[in-house]
Structure 1
Amino acid sequence: MNISVLVDYVLIALVGGVGSILANRGIAVFNDGLRPIMPEYLEGKIDRKELAATSFAVSFGLIIGFGIPVSIGSTILVAHSILLAADIIGTWTPANKWGTALAGVVGAVYGVGLLFGLSFIVSAFKMLPVNFLGALSLLGGPILLAFCAFPALAVASQHGAKKGMITFGATFVAYLLATKFGVFSVGNGIKITLNPIGMSLLVAMLFMLYFAAQIKGEGTSNASLVNVFSARVSRIKKNWIWLSIMGGLITAASSVLIIAVDVLPQQLLVKGQVMEAAIATLARAIGFIPLVFSTAIVTGVYGMAGTTIIFAIGLLLKGNPIVAFIAGFVWMWIEVQALAGTAKGLDKFPGLRDMGEHIRTSLTDTIAIALLIGAALACNKMAPNLGYFWVIGVWLLNKKLKKPLVDMAVGPIAAIALGILLNLLRIVHLF
């Protein structure tokens, strides 16, 4: 095992281990849906069993249905596959010093097993009668450009369809112009190439920020939250060392390209487009600042990856895990210290404060439809014509289930299920 591979395994073990410890001690969790439940446990309103059951219910489906399926076929893990698991491991282990130690060990073992297991799966795919790994690579194809549409959708949701269409049109034009005129010669044979996806996303984000910034006010909602929940803000600040260590570890893991915050940056990294992945990561993080800060103030429990800006910092420091760890450590400390001030500052720009909710909804809708289209392309490559039938049928039938899978999970699961089914059919000579 060479040194770079060893570093990968050590980092992923530390991310899984420390993340599980944070969840075990109620310092931080990754799932935004679990964070509001944590105070109920910390204040004795629910017991540990109820907390563990809730953690499992809100996270397991995303791990199995989204995080791991999207990570298969790549050595770059989607954060959901490990950080959501850390939530579960941390809440399922006892709330004492032995339970904390156990959470750290189990989380570390899970992280190593996840990274090794995905590599093993890739090798195993090559031995199958029908190797569908190549087809699975099409899953993320539509995401790269479709992602650029989410700001227009967010603008339409927040400011109306007209402004959404203006943003969409500007995004479309930016892509065309960057494609046609995005190569510049600066002399001595040196050329600078503007990435069309990155430029169109940048233009879309600028429009989204411009429209949101036009809504001004002197509200005091966040300021009031800070005053009412000052003890919970203090609790987060008291745990700054643990949060900073986690921030450093995630940043270092991001810098060596073993973990990405979401599927779009992951797909860009697979294609070697690191700067574009950093821009996409930063764009995503902007939408999560109001949510992370507001829920942190109310609950006294921070986000395991903070505002997720640390993922972008890691990408900008690619290949320098030690420097990345220090930068992530410092940045997470800054986030924690700025928690109250930033939340109060957002009151002056309620449009920016409210923008986060629209961004998150738009991101989810965009990724879900892009993964569905990608799954259709992947399945059709595995089994021409039959593949479209399979994906459409699975998508529609999922809607009829009493407990349907989240939309983002349907496409990847349908593609993997078809690949397995085709191998079984090959064995009995039906395919």
Structure 2
Amino acid sequence: MDFAQLLDYIIIACVGGLGSILANRGIAVFNDGLRPIMPEYLEGKITRRELAATSFALSFGLVIGFGIPISIGTTIIVAHSILLAADIIGTWTPNNKWGTVLAGGIGALYSIGVMIGLQFVVDLFAMLPVDFLGSLGSIAGPVFVAFAVFPAIAVAYQHGFLKGIIAFIITFVAYLLVAKFGTFNVAGSKLSLSPEGMSLMVAMLVMIGFAMTKKGDGSGANTSLLSIFAERVARIRKNWIWLALMGGFIACASSLLIVAVDVLPHQLMNKGEYNEAAIATIARAIGFIPLVFSTAIVTGVYGMAGTTMVFGIGLLLREHPVLAFFAGALCMYLEVILLATITKGLDKFPGIRDMGEHIRSSMTKVIEIALLIGSAIACNMIAPSIGYFWLIGFYLLNRTAKKPIVDLAVGPIATILLGVLVNILHVLGMI
């Protein structure tokens, strides 16, 4: 094992270990759906067992059905594989000193295990009589192209169908223009802009532009929230050192090209388009500021990766992990310290303040549909005669289950199960 590989293992262990500690202590979680539940536990309204069960229900399907399947076959891990698991590990370990130590240890070992295990899975698939690993890469294909449409959908949710159509057309035209004219010669070198990354940036600007057209009415909603939940805001600021360390480790991991915040940056990084991946990551983070800040104020629990800006900082400082660590720590520190100031400022632009939930809803819907389409393509590649039959049946039957798999995870799980089934049928001589 060389030094570079050892450093990768150390950094990913720090990310997973510290993330689990933050969840264990109720300082921060990654799953936006879990954050509103945390105050219920912290105030004694639900038990630790109920919190753990909720965390597992919200995150496990996304870990095994989204994060890990998308990460398989690459050297870059989708952050959900580590940080959502940290939510589970942190909430399932006891709420005491030894539980915190246990959470850190399990989180670190799990994260290293993911890095090692992904390669093991790749090697295992290669030994199967029907190698379907290559087909799994098709699952994220539609996400890579379609991700840039989510701001237009968010605009439609927030401002109506007509403005959503306008945002969609602008995004579409931006994609076509960059695809056609986005290659330049700079100092004798060819520079190519990513149509996906640049159209996403344009779409985010359009979304923010529409949101800014709604002027404040003087109600001061966020200022009122800060007054009501001042104690919870103070709790977040009190834990700034832990959050800054987490921001530093995540930025460091991003600079080493170990983790990606989401599917689009993940795919861009796999293609070596790191600047475009950074642009897409930062654009995504800007859109998430209202959601992260508003839920942080109300719950007193911060996002494990903050606004996720630290991932973009890491990409901009790739191959400089030490500098990325300090820049990421500073970024997270500023997010925490300026939480109240920025939130008050959003009162002047209530449209921006309110767009957070629309961003989350639209992004989830786009990824759900894109993963389902990608899974259908992958299933048909694995078994041309039964692939579509298998996926559609699996998807619709899942909806009738008493405890259905979350929609994001249905397609990837169905595809992997089909790959295993095809190998069993091959051994039995049925195909």
1:191-210 correspondence to structure 2 within 5 Å? 191-210=190-209
Aligned to 1:33: 33
Structure 1: how far apart are the matches of 2:202 and 2:21? 40
Structure 1: how far apart are the matches of 2:184 and 2:72? 37
1:373 CA drift (Å)? 1.1
3-state DSSP class of the match of 1:138?
A: coil
Counterparts in 2 of 1:18 and 1:275: CA distance versus 1, 3 Å? same
Percentage of identical aligned residues: 67
Aligned to 1:318: 318
Aligned to 1:287: 287
Summarize deviations over 1:178-233 as a string: whole Å, max 9, x none: 222222345x6344333222222222222211111101113311111111111111
3-state DSSP class of the match of 2:374?
A: helix
Contact 1:16 1:82 in 2 (8 A): yes
3-state DSSP class of the match of 1:404?
A: coil
1:345-424 correspondence to structure 2 within 5 Å? 345-424=345-424
3-state DSSP class of the match of 1:329?
A: helix
Summarize deviations over 1:77-110 as a string: whole Å, max 9, x none: 1111111111111112122211111111111111
Deviates more, 1:9-18 or 1:382-391: 382-391
Aligned to 1:220: 220
Deviates more, 1:375-384 or 1:326-335: 375-384
Contact 1:77 1:258 in 2 (8 A): yes
3-state DSSP class of the match of 1:184?
A: strand
Taking structure 2 as the reference length, what is the TM-score of the superposition?
A: 0.96
Summarize deviations over 1:357-392 as a string: whole Å, max 9, x none: 111111111111111111111111111142122222
Contact 2:198 2:276 in 1 (8 A): no
Summarize deviations over 1:291-319 as a string: whole Å, max 9, x none: 21112111211111111111111111111
Structure 1: how far apart are the matches of 2:185 and 2:111? 45
Taking structure 1 as the reference length, what is the TM-score of the superposition?
A: 0.96
3-state DSSP class of the match of 1:342?
A: helix
3-state DSSP class of the match of 2:191?
A: strand
Unaligned runs of 5+ in 2: none
Contact 2:155 2:163 in 1 (8 A): yes
1:139 CA drift (Å)? 1.0
Structure 2: how far apart are the matches of 1:33 and 1:49? 17
Structure 2: how far apart are the matches of 1:206 and 1:258? 28
3-state DSSP class of the match of 2:319?
A: coil
User: Structure 2 counterpart of 1:362, which letter?
Assistant: S
Aligned to 1:110: 110
Unaligned runs of 5+ in 1: none
3-state DSSP class of the match of 2:390?
A: helix
Summarize deviations over 1:309-336 as a string: whole Å, max 9, x none: 1111111111111111000111100000
Contact 2:69 2:136 in 1 (8 A): no
Deviates more, 1:66-75 or 1:301-310: 66-75
Q: How many residues align?
A: 430
Contact 2:250 2:310 in 1 (8 A): yes
1:132 CA drift (Å)? 0.5
RMSD across aligned C-alpha pairs, in angstroms?
Answer: 1.4
Structure 2: how far apart are the matches of 1:219 and 1:70? 44
Contact 1:287 1:357 in 2 (8 A): no
Structure 1: how far apart are the matches of 2:408 and 2:107? 25
Contact 1:219 1:350 in 2 (8 A): no
Structure 2: how far apart are the matches of 1:344 and 1:122? 49
Structure 1: how far apart are the matches of 2:276 and 2:304? 24
User: Structure 2 counterpart of 1:157, which letter?
Assistant: Y
1:254 CA drift (Å)? 0.9
Counterparts in 2 of 1:63 and 1:183: CA distance versus 1, 3 Å? closer
Structure 1: how far apart are the matches of 2:171 and 2:65? 31
Contact 1:287 1:360 in 2 (8 A): no
